[in-house]
């Protein structure tokens, strides 16, 4: 693990591989960069892979005031010397990737948005997070985590080993529940709101969703596919919200194929 001081915070990250940079942005409530193990292994032979914990999760410091996840990522990339990258984000992490592509479009090569959220939906997300934190206080965090990992809308096809890994990540990030999800509450989304500016995204975009995910997420996918000019969509049968963990082989195949096509198109344009 490495750390970088950015915008008054400390972000934990790993970087491996060589080639065109790709950034993995975690989501799924309180999951940290360990959720990307299978994707790092698939990408590292071909790309430089930056996998980091957003502020408030994993090894990164907690927020104590309003802040921007997008600005944090920008400062992290600057500190490492990455000028342009493809972004892969899941759930909350996809929302961060969308904000970053709107705030710093010149730094985005391509977007892979899995089970995506939108920062424009922050108010609803905060209410859901507060309800989860209150339930954890009343019923105990292990009870809430067990309900999450055994929910087919979250993990529909994963085996027991994957469920144990996800449970461990949730329990290791108990401080997120204790803080009433400060990493969501104190997040300052892009402005004007992302939902109003999707048509301005110029990066080629792949949107991935499981057919077992919630109706809200599937509706968000439909909105993004309709409004982002270059968006293409893939639906994974029998997969829930944590796509990269529930269907890792299919996820990796779709991600690698898309990133290769984007890179080939860029190489052709530079000839």
Closest CA to 97 of 175, 48, 25, 145: 25
Average pLDDT, the chain: 96
Query: How far apart, in whole angstroms, are the C-alpha atoms of residue 151 and residue 3?
Result: 34
* pLDDT tens-place string over residues 25-76: 999 779 999 999 999 999 999 999 999 999 999 999 999 999 999 999 999 9
- Relative orientation angle of helices 160-172 and 141-149, to the nearest 10 degrees: 140
C-alpha to C-alpha distance for 38 and 113, rounded to whole angstroms = 17
Residue 55 phi, psi dihedral angles, 5° rounding: -55, 130
Alpha helices by DSSP H, listed for the chain, are: 37-43, 69-80, 92-103, 122-139, 141-149, 160-172, 174-178, 182-185, 215-227, 243-246, 248-270
pLDDT value, residue 148:
96
All domains in the chain, ordered by first residue: 2-270 (3.40.50.1820)
**Which among 84, 89, 105, 18 has a CA at the least distance from the CA of 52?**
89
Number of Cβ within a 10 Å radius of residue 114: 33
Better-predicted residue by pLDDT, 27 or 198: 198
Q: Residue 162 above 60 pLDDT?
A: yes
For position 264, what pLDDT does the model report? 84
């Amino acid at each position: 693990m490495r750390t970088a001081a950015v915008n008054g915070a400390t972000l934990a990250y790993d970087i491996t591989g060589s080639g065109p940079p790709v950034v993995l942005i975690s989501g799924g409530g309180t999951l940290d960069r360990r959720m990307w193990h299978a994707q790092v292994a698939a990408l590292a032979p071909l790309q430089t892979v930056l996998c980091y914990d957003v502020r408030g999760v994993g090894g990164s410091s907690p927020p104590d005031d309003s802040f921007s996840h997008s600005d944090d990522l920008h400062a992290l990339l600057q500190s490492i010397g990455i000028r342009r990258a493809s972004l892969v984000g899941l759930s909350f992490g996809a929302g961060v990737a969308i904000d970053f592509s709107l705030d710093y479009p010149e730094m985005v090569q391509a977007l892979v948005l899995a089970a995506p959220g939108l920062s424009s939906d922050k108010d609803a997300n905060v209410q859901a997070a507060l309800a989860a934190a209150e339930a954890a206080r009343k019923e105990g965090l292990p009870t809430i985590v067990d309900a999450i990992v055994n929910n087919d809308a979250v993990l529909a096809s994963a085996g027991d080993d994957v469920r144990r890994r996800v449970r461990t990540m949730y329990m290791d990030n108990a401080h997120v529940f204790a803080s009433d999800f400060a990493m969501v509450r104190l997040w300052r989304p892009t402005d004007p709101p992302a939902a109003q500016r999707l048509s301005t995204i110029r990066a080629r975009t792949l949107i991935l969703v499981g057919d077992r995910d919630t109706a809200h997420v599937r509706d968000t996918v439909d909105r993004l596919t309709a409004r982002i000019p270059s968006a293409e969509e893939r639906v994974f049968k029998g997969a829930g919200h944590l796509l990269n963990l529930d269907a890792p082989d299919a996820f990796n195949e779709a991600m690698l194929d898309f990133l290769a096509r984007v890179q080939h198109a860029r190489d052709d344009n530079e000839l």
